[in-house]
Amino acid sequence: MSKIFEEVRFPHVTFKNHVARSATNDYAGNEDGTVSEFQMGLYRELAQGGVGMIITGHYAVCPLGRNDIHQNALWDDSFIASQRRLTDMVHENGSKIVAQINHAGAKAQAAAIGGAQPVAPSAVEVAPGVMPRALTAEEIAQVEDDFAAAALRAKQAGFDGVQVHCAHGYLFSQFIDPAHNKRADAYGGSVENRFRIVEETLRKVKAAVGGTFPVFIKIHCNAVEGDAQFASDLVYMLKAAAALGVEAAEISGFDFAKQPRDKRLYYMERARRAREASGLPVILVGGIRTLAEMDEVLDGGLDMVSLSRPFVCQPDILKRLQAGESSKCIGCFGCFSCYQKTGKRCVLH
């Protein structure tokens, strides 16, 4: 049997297998930020399908950081009861669930933030035609506090950990990427400065939730500008995260949606080198479809695999692979827009 189905242990949490459902924005939450019945059904299917580690779609840590009007939220204690209902259900169905917490930064949609001007590290356009304003140092400190408060609420709601989102062009991703961070203060310039907001946030999160509550990060491993230097910067950031007690980093890339349909293991080699140089456990996401590819990831020295689109296509894909079937996911980009446009979760459904 593939080693994918064996237990995997991190310092403060154990998962029943080496497979994570990568955070996937389903655009299906209630407009008040609570968990919808439709989402309860989605997560129930994933838990019953045998996923070891379910990572939720990103949860907004504050109203100004909300990505869209159907995004779930954790900026207030009133959300805890709704999330407790979700975690209880996932646990009853034999899986563990980690809350991804996030601030959309310059990607926040106007309708989701009441028409306010979005914020970012610098006044650099991310969403076409929308110019964000640069955060002040005082506002940066408040964002960090918002992440810590959201993490504590996740713990109180029964989650098995939190994942701080530092990828895919959202606020923390914008800070660590030189193409979007043009600051000249303590939060811009060197990798130490660009990663400062993440380090300070992780310290505050750990202080809020305690030393034994699992904290993960998700981070992109490449960059539009200065990609070779960013590979070196990634090692620094992973080492810093490890020193702060992060359990593992899920590694993705800024260009995952642009990868050719037939390409596989998009970020494998860079993730492998970063894992070896930093010592921090790594969860790889991007272009993983078969058991052979999953085993290749583990054989390459990485610690878990993470899938998104295959679970959109077939929530029970793990059981199907274990039974000798193949994934039906064709690697299209439809699931990034199908639901918003048609209500379909996958072009095959």
Q: Give the tokens for residue 231.
A: 């590979």
Return d(Cα 281, Cα 216) in angstroms, integer: 10
**Cα angle value 58/282/259 (rounded, 5°):** 65
The C-alpha R_g of the chain, in whole angstroms, comes to 19
Query: How far from the centroid of its chain's Cα atoms is residue 104's Cα?
Result: 12
| CB crowding 90-122: b at 16 or more within 10 Å, else e | beebebbbbbbbbbbbbbbeeebbeeeebbbbb
Q: Give the tokens for residue 303.
A: 């610690």
Return d(Cα 303, Cα 309) in angstroms, integer: 20
* Conformation bin of residue 343: beta by default, left when phi > 0, alpha when psi is -120 to 50: left
Among this protein's residues, is 170 annotated catalytic? yes
The structure tokens 């272009």 sit at 287
Angle of helix 80-92 relative to helix 37-48, nearest 10 degrees, comes to 30
- Cβ-based neighbours of 343, under 8 Å, separated by 6 or more: none
Q: Can you point out the beta strands (E) in the chain? A: 8-10, 13-15, 19-21, 53-55, 59-60, 96-102, 119-120, 133-134, 162-166, 215-220, 249-252, 282-285, 304-307
Are 112 and 130 contacting, i.e. CB atoms less than 8 angstroms apart? no
Q: Give the tokens for residue 144.
A: 């960090």
Of the candidates 170, 187, 266, 339, the residue annotated as catalytic is 170
Residues assigned a catalytic role: 170
